[in-house]
Copies of this chain bind each other. A is one copy, B any other.
Amino acid sequence: MIIIMKSNHTDDQLREVSARVKALGSSPHMIHGETHITISVIGETKHIGSEAFAGLDGIERVVRISKPYKLAAKAARPEGTRIRVGGVEIGRGGFLVMAGPCSVESEDQTLRIARAVKAAGANVLRGGAFKPRSSPYAFQGLGDEGLKILAKAREETGLPIISEALDMQGLELVARYADIIQIGARNMQNFPLLKALGKLNVPILLKRGMSATIEEWLMSAEYILAGGNEKVMLCERGIRSFDVQHSRNTLDLNAVPILKSLTHLPVIVDPSHGTGFRHLVSPMALAGMAAGADGIIVEVHDRPEEALSDGPQALLPSDFEDLMGKVEKMGPVLGVEVASTSRSGKRNAA
């Protein structure tokens, strides 16, 4: 930690800052530059927030040197984290495709789509039972009933399932059924929920908040890791930007190689929410893969015009099959192992 004093600080202010560094158990190392005095705080500083000096006068800026996350940092596991879900693995070269409807709407709908995505090569079935909706008047999901339908689809297709939990009460239910628990963008900084996730032994897919910085996102992962749950995947799902005329969100693929350099956790890309429109989904799924993601999560619906949520961004099963064909061809070019191919030799063999 480095404290940069204002160019016009007083001696008293400098003494106070210095005293505070010592009071915190560290030693101040002063350097007189041309225009500014800087104070390096030497010693163990991880318990010291930059706020420790925030109230003192005469300080221009406090620069943190070490990262505020430890368990999520790359250095904690340089070889990368690999997470096993059902029979497949994600991370360290293993590429996973999760697909399915936005919402579980009925048993028939879910089973139809589950079969279709399985046939096309998906590795995990997605489907929402609890839906976060901006309007109190919109469809809020089938709840418990939806989870049972997903379980039935898993039984039939063999696909592990991922579903979203919105709160503590729902979490208990979702944890009972799902192979992966999804935490949505709006809950990325729901700290009590994150603490509860830390006590589970189920893989978590943690979506990025709508305007969360990468550091904030990793700090939220740190909450889960600090609780003892090591199975965290990060999911980029689009950030809020100034142009919403042609896409709902701005898929921030820069985040993929950035995360790869900062953390050992697997990174997933969601091109469905990241764009909001069907015709943009496949190009952006491939772009996410090319950027270095460890997997994608894609909404698929065979009757999008009847979908109770997010119909405009759902791929048709035939679109999804085309996408899977390209995903499988891109695997070897990028040096990643697409689970559907590796498992079965060929896509539709399953």
Task: Across the interface, name the chain B residue whose C-beta is closest to A198.
Answer: B136
Copies of the polypeptide in the assembly? 4
**Which among A26-34, A147-155, A172-180, A336-344 touches the partner chain?**
A26-34
- For chain A, give the interface size range: 35 or more
Other-chain residue from B44, B55, B56 in contact with A34 (beta carbon distance below 8 A): B44
> Does A192 contact B214, Cβ atoms closer than 8 Å?
no
- Nearest-neighbour CB distance to chain B for A64, whole angstroms, equals 10
> Does B55 contact A312, Cβ atoms closer than 8 Å?
yes
With A291-B287, A306-B55, A330-B333 as given contacts, are A240 and B211 in contact (CB-CB < 8 Å)? Answer: yes
Interface mask (A127-141 → B, CB under 8 Å = 1, otherwise 0)? 000001111111010
Considering the chains assembled together, what is the distance between the CA atoms of A55 and B105 in angstroms?
A: 15
Most buried by B among A54, A211, A260: A54
> Does A291 contact B301, Cβ atoms closer than 8 Å?
no
Considering the chains assembled together, what is the distance between the CA atoms of A2 and B63 in angstroms?
A: 10
A186 interface hit (Cβ, 8 Å): yes
Other-chain residue from B4, B31, B211, B314 in contact with A29 (beta carbon distance below 8 A): B31
- Please name 11 pairs of A and B residues whose Cβ atoms are closer than 8 Å in the assembled complex, sorted by A: A2-B63, A29-B31, A31-B42, A34-B42, A47-B137, A136-B226, A166-B191, A241-B241, A250-B254, A256-B283, A326-B334
